[in-house]
Structure 1
């Protein structure tokens, strides 16, 4: 297996996406059409099974003719039109639009001529039988005007038209018949070529029903009358298709961060060759398999055996009847026969074999042999059924340790996904809450029940489930749980996510709810104590930020008064100030620098903030940029999770200037970055893709600072002038 970037099931259109050497074939077909001197029309049939890459080949043909001004490519998809009259109108309108756009003419537009001759179509739809509208329309005399005008324009401009028609085999029988009659009746347009892409067997069968005959091949005979050049898609050999499938599987494994051993790879490859290779006959089926694993492997990572999962998922896709039979008959597949007890249980073994044989009855002999070998591999119990080979009780322990599907304790995880990798059972949750209630002072981290129970993988689920236990806790239990969560806060994932849904932030909301359970007289004391148990300043500030005091919109009655909040805020501000005296908090991106400055400014005074800023800038002039950048907004893409920092806009500057004496930063810039202090005519935007944020962020600060100073000077002059006028 090799590494390969994941791609969807969509058709490809670029040469670097060509995994099956179809580009050269497509280019040759395009060149033959483009270099054709004969003005007569030609109809080409591009044959291939569903998912074999017909649309991709049409895309390649279209792409290879992009720079050829002698050929006008028109993509027509009949699947978009529901009725015969709509199909007819769509066909001629699309041709007219394309030619009007590509051909320069001083006379009437083809679209105008088309609109005139297409007017009777609506009337025909009301009176003609299904399938006869095309015939009636083509026989109208005005159609010759459109034809002659089209041929004349193409001849004068020395251009040809290539009409690419896709998804023919997705139409119903009547629609297929209508489309082929339309092509047949318009195929005498000069300088016009058609390529119709479809599964020949499906289309022939549909036409067979329409033109049944005693020979039984009337559908194919009808095709032969229309398709002048039948082309099959280039064959994809099994090894190429296998490599393509393995590339997708590798991507799924990488996405799940699963690394297989050489033994596991050999085990999977052996079963793939025997059971799946004959089923994966097209690129689409290969991609279907790898895409399925792309989802199932990450979901069940760590909860099941990855090879067993990959194999049972293959059975689900390619042998769905067998998959359902396995899922509904755990007792027949999981566990083992013990030779001493069941060695003579031939009747039971024959019964199991009979049931399996009935399920795979319609498979070929080779397919049956391959799938039975696979079943014996993932369900060793069947080795007793087919080979009289037994496994001891020790095997059960090994299968349990390996999380194999043949273990009864893991069997249903492969089918119902009942226990996700980040889940925790209700039984374990109740035991955990009980352990927290029994936790005793001095509340050390080593004895914290959450220290072992909580992992980054199950943190989200565990925090959510602890939420449901809040109502059942008393004051003492709530205090202990709040301390337990605070102590392990560094283990909580803190991804920037939509609406603060990460476990790190959610845990502080949980603490805020737990505090409501704590007796009123103890509440302030407990909160102050939580700050001592928090390992980071960021978590201390987050606890404080989400307290539901009486000034918040979501305030809880009798939660915390303004006086109590000031007491708590002052305590936290002084604690943080003591911690950061000999540190530069801007060096750690996890520190909420702007919020810390707000906290110190509000609960102590601005002087301590200004003094601190002057001190860290004297030590490291790069702190100027780090301070400013901390006041810019961070946006997170909800689709891919990628973060993007905003400019230092006016709102950011205004917020900064409320908590800091911005003249300190301005003067520091003059000292350390004099080359950046020149006055700019325009606001210094950060260009998309620009790696250097430092220079524009500092220039943006200078921009807003000067505007602010100008505004203040204007206000001062205005107020002074007003005062003078009053005195006069």
Structure 2
């Protein structure tokens, strides 16, 4: 299989020994030798039984191939399933035998045998056609007679009787008219049969049988009649076929090879009024069963198919987890494969679905999960179809769901419901597959919980248990709203190129940036440790240019960049982390990320946790940050105040700087004009979002305590009074209104952190 040639696997029987994958050629050869050695004896009936897909027809084909080499018998294959009616079945059976016997290079004895067989068939079936056609005409003829008879019983008087006789005549003629032509044709055909019957009348049925017996006994080779697909026949057809074998073909040098699934045929004969097992025992003299397939042989064929699929899909190969595969196959998938037909059915569509989800540079799904889900789709389709309805539960992404006893009960109920949709034979394996594919439910089944790092790894490997990738397994494509693995792969590849990484990341909207960075958290272990300096520079650069807005469901992109950097630093020795950041910062100063790193580390220390940096390293980082911050603020105060982040930077100057009021001193020194005050005030604006029913309300406000801390409320009131005297644009007027609102709330004695609605 190549990347461009997609072929479906077929489950047709093999025809030659060279295609034997299960070492059954020896069995087939011994069967062929036994058949060819049956000469000048009574008839022999052999059965070859096995379940659906066990390889009965394949064994038969190999035996026939070997017989053709030996030239030890004449083979006649007859498939009764192709003939619908019982009368057609009998006629077709004898016609097929006589046709094969009288082949192109037949001997005179063969021609005589074929003629005798046809004579025998005509004798057996001579009356069936007459009875059949009479049965078709009788209802209409009787119907016409009944109508006229009924009218006659109520008619009175001569005129009425005349009328009734006229109606009767018309009724009879009318009913017969459509059949006149067909009747004529039938009469002609029957006359030919009767004529032939007259010619054959000098021989009785017993005499014809004796003639057949003599002709067959004189043959040097047995006649092998192969009847396949008997288990597909209806109960009545089964009855007719076995009666045909039992009653009419008990001749020397005739060997029957019957292929069927034993329990199916026994049940069919039971419906036809026989004791199935006892009836077969009376007819079949030599019963054989198809050799059992060892699990090792079957798995070898399956694995060969899977290896071929993976060889053609390089993207799926890249992240194929051998350990996970062994676990999934041994615990869940193995019981689904009982014969070669199961393997072929499974492989037929698996390659197709792998092609749909292989991605461009990397696979969009986890190969092992895809293999497992294909198992359910083929062998437990109702379970597979039910799974998307329970996405939230299976991926543990239901909002407000708690890991408590009621939820535990609910999870068990849903899993039981899906398992019970599978065929009874496959229910244990279906349950095991669900548990293997969705380890996030192990808290229910094993009381096991997994940390965030493990869950991030599941996401990196596109496991179906992750809410972010679940849909693509069932939609068989990457939904438009999903993040394709190829994008994440490309970003991971560019992590050592600060400009290329940042350009690709910022080409997406803010909300998308946050999702991308969240997903990249799981890729940190793949960032090249030998290029750590460049990786840190990339993240410092990206932090300066990504969005800053936070949503209900995600951190802001800049916070995600800082989280990404912290996870990457954890791969290094603690004493080396600050030096690495300081060196990178000297090339690519990133105040946004540096601020996040310091805030996170100090927050951890306040909780008593160990931060990312040692004491000396943290102090060095803080001093470098303050030094850079002062340079930026003092170099161009207008540009600094125009920066959306200047309020948090001023707060950091207060928190980390000298005396705890360095930020306030800078404001008092540099906020010297109405324009600068308005820029300062805009930096103090906060936004609060509230949900009421289906509507969302956003409210902007300024905290009085922030104004007091950074400039003083009196100074702010003075600036507000001055601004009342000048003309402002819409944004400036809104900012001034928020300042006045904060001053008014403080004057009313409201808590400094309250805000007006």
**Which residue does 1:297 correspond to in 2?**
354
1:675-699 C-alpha deviation (Å, 9 max, x unpaired):
xxxxxxxxxxxxxxxxxxxxxxxxx
Ranges in structure 1 where 5+ consecutive residues have no aligned partner:
130-136, 213-217, 429-445, 454-728
Corresponding residue number in structure 1 for 2:15: 13
Shifted more, 328-337 versus 388-397: the winner is: 388-397
- Preserved contact between residue 276 and residue 318 of structure 1 (Cα < 8 Å): no
Q: Does residue 404 of structure 1 match 2:463?
A: yes
Aligned partner of 1:322 in structure 2 is: 383
Deviation at 1:100, TM superposition (A): 1.1
In the alignment, which residue of structure 2 is the partner of 1:87?
89
1:160-183 deviation line (CA, Å, top 9, x unaligned)? 101111111111211111111111
Partner of 1:202: 264
Counterparts of 2:403 and 2:419, CA distance in 1: 26
Q: Contact conserved, 2:113 with 2:215, CA < 8 A, in 1?
A: no
Match of 2:302 in 1: 245
State whether residues 309 and 414 of structure 1, in contact with CA within 8 Å, keep that contact through their aligned partners in structure 2: yes
Question: Is structure 2 residue 271 aligned with structure 1 residue 231?
Answer: no
Structure 1 residue aligned with 2:374, among 304, 313, 320?
A: 313
Q: 1:295-374, aligned counterparts within 5 Å?
A: 295-301=352-358, 302-335=363-396, 344-361=403-420, 370-374=429-433
Give CA deviations for 1:185-223 in whole Å, capped at 9, x if unaligned. 1341111000101000000011112225xxxxx111111
Q: 1:545-694, aligned counterparts within 5 Å?
A: none
Matched, 1:105 2:108: yes
Match 1:53 to one of 52, 55, 78: 55
Alignment partners' CA distance in 1, 2:405 and 2:483: 41
Secondary structure in structure 1 of the residue aligned to 2:287: strand
Residues in 2 aligned to 1:356 and 1:427: alpha-carbon distance in whole angstroms: 29
Shift of 1:295: 1.5
Q: Does 1:378 align with 2:437?
A: yes
Structure 1 residues 498-509: aligned runs within 5 Å? none
| 2:254 aligned partner | 192
Residues 13 and 403 (structure 1), Cα distance of their counterparts in 2 relative to 1, 3 Å cut: same
2:131 to 120, 123, 127: 127
Report Cα offsets for 1:443-472 as digits up to 9, x if no partner. xxx9xx99x99xxxxxxxxxxxxxxxxxxx
How far, CA to CA, are the matches of 1:383 and 1:237 in structure 2?
33
User: How do 1:520-539 and structure 2 match up within 5 A?
Assistant: none
Moved more, 268-277 or 186-195: 268-277
The CA distance in 2 between the partners of 1:251 and 1:156, in whole Å, is 54
Cα deviation code 1:363-402 (max 9, x no counterpart): 8999665544432331122112212223345555443332
**Per-residue CA distance 1:406-438 (angstroms, 9 max, x = gap):** 222321221122448xxx78999xxxxxxxxxx
Match of 1:43 in 2: 45
Larger Rg: 2
Q: Give 1 or 2: higher helix fraction.
A: 2
How far apart, CA to CA, are the structure 2 residues paired with 1:109 and 1:369? 61
Q: 2:336 is paired with a residue of what secondary structure?
A: coil
Separation in 2, partners of 1:124, 1:188? 23
Contact 1:274–1:371 (CA under 8 A) maintained in structure 2: no
Whether contact under 8 Å (1:76, 1:165) holds in the other structure is yes
- Cross-structure match for 1:287: 344
SS of aligned partner of 1:57: helix
TM-score (norm 2): 0.49
Displacement of 1:337: 8.1
2:65 aligned residue: 63
Q: Which shifted more, 240-249 or 386-395?
A: 386-395
User: For the Cα contact (< 8 Å) 2:48–2:257, is it kept in 1?
Assistant: yes
* SS in structure 2 of the partner of residue 328 of structure 1: helix
Label 1:361 to 1:82 Cα distance change in 2 as closer, same or farther (>3 A): same
Does the aligned pair in 2 maintain the 1:207–1:219 contact within 8 Å? yes
Find the residue that maps to 1:260 and give its secondary structure: helix
Contact 2:73 2:223 in 1 (8 A): yes
Alignment match, 2:746: none
Distance 2:454 2:250 in 1: 74
Aligned to 1:172: 234
Structure 1 residues 42 and 380 mapped into 2: Cα distance closer, same or farther (>3 Å)?
Answer: same
Q: Residue 362 and residue 415 in structure 1: after superposition, are their counterparts in 2 closer, same or farther (change >3 A)?
A: closer
Whether the 8 Å contact between 2:8 and 2:349 is mirrored in structure 1 is no
Distance 1:146 1:408, change over 3 A: farther
Superposition TM-score, scaled by structure 1 size: 0.51
Question: 1:110, CA displacement in angstroms?
Answer: 4.4
Q: Is the Cα–Cα contact under 8 Å of residues 45 and 231 in structure 1 kept in the other structure?
A: yes
Residue 195 to residue 107, structure 1, CA distance change in 2 (3 Å):
closer
Write the distance in 1 (CA, Å) between the matches of 2:470 and 2:374: 13
The structure-2 alpha-carbon separation of the partners of 1:418 and 1:142, relative to structure 1 and needing over 3 Å to count, comes to farther
Distance 1:144 1:413, change over 3 A: farther
Cα 1:13/1:344, change in 2 over 3 Å: closer
State how many pairs are aligned. Answer: 410
Residues of 2 paired with 1:313 and 1:106: CA distance? 58
Residues 536-570 of structure 1: CA distance to partner in whole angstroms, max 9, x if unpaired? xxxxxxxxxxxxxxxxxxxxxxxxxxxxxxxxxxx
Q: Secondary structure at the match of 2:350?
A: helix
Tell me what 2:448 maps to.
389
The structural deviation recorded for 1:113 is: 4.4
Q: Contact 1:336–1:381 (CA<8 Å) still a contact in 2?
A: no
Structure 2 spans left out of the alignment, 5+ residues = 1-6, 134-196, 485-499, 508-757
Q: How far, CA to CA, are the matches of 1:28 and 1:19 in structure 2?
A: 18
The residue aligned with 1:413 is 472
CA RMSD, Structure 1 to Structure 2 (Å): 3.6
Q: State how far apart, in whole Å, the 1-side matches of 2:476 and 2:425 are.
A: 32
Counterpart Cα distance in 1 of 2:476 and 2:419 = 26
Describe the SS at the equivalent of 1:412: helix
